[in-house]
Amino acid sequence: MGRLTTLMTLDIYRSVLRACPVLMRPIIRILLKAGVNYKQFAKITREVYVEVATDDFGISGRKTNTSRVAILTGISRSEVTKIKKRSEEEGDIEIPQTVNNAGRLLSGWYVDPTYQNENGEPKTLLIDGPEPNFSTLMNKYGGDIPITAMLKELKLVKAVEKNPDGTIQALKRYFVPEGFDENRIFSIIDDLVDLSNTAYQNLVRDKDEESYFERKVTNDYVSESAYTEFQKMVKEKGMKLLEEFDDWLARNEVSQVELEQSKQIRLGLGMYFIHSRSDDQNT
């Protein structure tokens, strides 16, 4: 039994190692596009190895000690110590709140009855003045980002526009940064982290533990002429499904009292479009 377990572990090790180049290609594309070279990436990777080994591979819920981190990662004890010290001094990198708060604000604008007209559509709002206005919407859903900064970002991605009468009109329900800018980068990272965490949970879960929903549909033999029709169908039906879930999540938000008692969890669903040509390799 011991030999069989060892062989199975070796098979998994080899499979993961073979899959690494495929897994890394889209990430390397982003890094190269942003001007990040190999040496910089290698340094970051070494630090993340130490961080993950420390936080996630301890025994009995405790953080992993330096010696065990060195064994798991193959990094010397002295280097592990240096990396840990530097990490404690610099702190964690967080996704800019503009990404999360802008999306939450737009969602609230579309689902909160206070900010809907008689047809269930988002009201046009003055920045200040008679309530409800954009300021009260920001106070409820926008976090601590200044109003001018939030409006600038929303206008940049064409999620809102300012009418001649000075009111602000919502054009999109979701905050989707355009182009290769900071917000777009962090938005993509947020998506990749969510997908990776779901895949990891399903990979390591106990046999009697329910898996997270993780499905996709693809076909390698679709006519190229069907691309436009499928893209349109995905946008229409996919958006309708996401809006249905968004409405449900909004109805189940915690109250302020529950929020102060830290009784909230993060729930959601992600969807993404898949497209590659027959001559594309490892994409």
Domain ranges of the chain: 1-32, 37-91, 94-204, 217-275
**What would the pLDDT profile of 61-89 be if each residue is shown by its tens digit?**
778 899 999 999 999 999 999 998 888 77
Q: Answer whether residue 250 shows pLDDT above 80.
A: yes
| Token output for 48 | 């993340």
- Let me know how long the chain is: 283
Measured distance CA(184)–CA(180) in Å, rounded: 6
Q: Give rounded-to-5 percent helix, strand, coil for the chain.
A: 60, 5, 40
**Quick one: pLDDT at residue 94?**
60
* Contact indicator for 96, 144 with CB cutoff of 8 Å: no
Q: What integer pLDDT is reported at residue 204 of this predicted model?
A: 84
**Over pLDDT 70: what percentage of the chain?**
91
- pLDDT (tens digit per residue) in 155-195: 988 899 999 999 999 998 888 777 677 777 877 888 888 99
Answer whether 0.85 is exceeded by the pTM. Answer: no
- Over residues 97-112, mean pLDDT: 83
Q: Is 14 exposed, middle or buried (0-12, 13-18, 19+ CB in 10 A)?
A: exposed
Is 93 a residue whose pLDDT tops 70? no
